[in-house]
Amino acid sequence: MTKHLISAVLMLISLTMASIAPAYADNDAALNDFLARIKNLQTLDSRFEQSTRDNHGQVLQSMTGQLTVAKPGKLRWHTDEPFEQLVVSDGELVWVYDMDLEQVTIRNMDQRIQETPALLLTGDAGNVEKSFLVEEEKAGDEIVFQLVPKDNSQLFESLEFHYRDQQIVRMMIFDAAGQITEISFDGVAINQPVDDQAFVFNVPEGVDVIDGRHGR
């Protein structure tokens, strides 16, 4: 579920010189640099463009939308038509509203969901160190952080966060099937006031509700 909405995968960091292997910073330095960036981020609001490719490079799906995140663990992810879907998290619950299916799924914000790519930006920095191996690479004018889950039950094999001039410009997610999802950001607003109502979801009348909360 969240695997697709906060999307997935990859990459491409072209090395500046094909004959030279990527020069990664040592793990502690990379971790500390990444943690410093996410600790400084309180809110993010941005348009995005997302594309998913298979392991042959063929585009399987592309979409655009609006992303808003805020600490701790709040998210609003709204994709435009024709693939309209709304995902809202208030930090405790997650609502996934599929307009085409007229269906809402409700889930607890458990540890696995907290470790999805977009929410990592506004989550607990301590969870990053506990859950991921972090490497850092300079590629042209971008700094790239690669996160590999220590737990192989995760929904993805690795993540990449690309920064330019201290600002995130894209995320890439690699899954076990070889698919790569790239999310590029445009018009990014960092640490600006965000309306708390963005993280409130009221179930529309007449839609099917799948309540996956613990104990339900």
Cα separation, 3 vs 70, whole angstroms: 19
pLDDT value for 24: 40
- Looking at the predicted structure, is the pLDDT value of residue 118 above 70? no
Assigned domain for 53 exists: yes
The answer to whether residue 128 sits within a structural domain is yes
Residue 215: the pLDDT is: 61
pLDDT the model gives residue 94: 87
Report, as an integer, the average pLDDT of 151-174. 85
Q: What is the pLDDT of residue 30?
A: 87
Q: Residues 133, 26: contact at Cβ < 8 Å?
A: no
pLDDT at 192 over 80: yes
Q: Is the model's pLDDT at 116 over the cut of 60? A: no
Q: Looking at the domain assignment, is residue 216 inside a domain?
A: no
Q: Cα(64)–Cα(79) distance, rounded to whole angstroms? A: 6
Question: Is 150 part of any domain?
Answer: yes
In a domain, residue 17? The reply is no
| CATH number for the domain harbouring residue 154 | 2.50.20.10
197 pLDDT band, cuts 50/70/90, is very high
- Whether 166 shows a pLDDT value over 50: the answer reads yes
CA distance 137 to 196: 35
Average pLDDT value for residue range 76-94: 89
Residue 111 has pLDDT above 60, yes or no: no
User: How many structural domains are present in the chain?
Assistant: 1
Q: Supply the range of the domain harboring residue 187.
A: 2-11+24-211
**Torsion angle in degrees (nearest 10) through CA of 73, 171, 183, 112:** -40
pLDDT band per the 50, 70, 90 thresholds, residue 120: low
Q: Is residue 16 assigned to a domain?
A: no
Amino acid letter at 22? Answer: P
Give me the pLDDT at residue 144, please. Answer: 94
On whether residue 44 sits in a domain, the answer given is yes
Tens-place pLDDT, residues 27-50: 688 888 888 887 778 888 999 999
Residue 19 counted as domain residue = no
pLDDT digits (tens, 9 = 90+) for 198-215: 999 999 999 999 998 876
In the chain, the amino acid numbered 192 is Q
pTM: 0.78
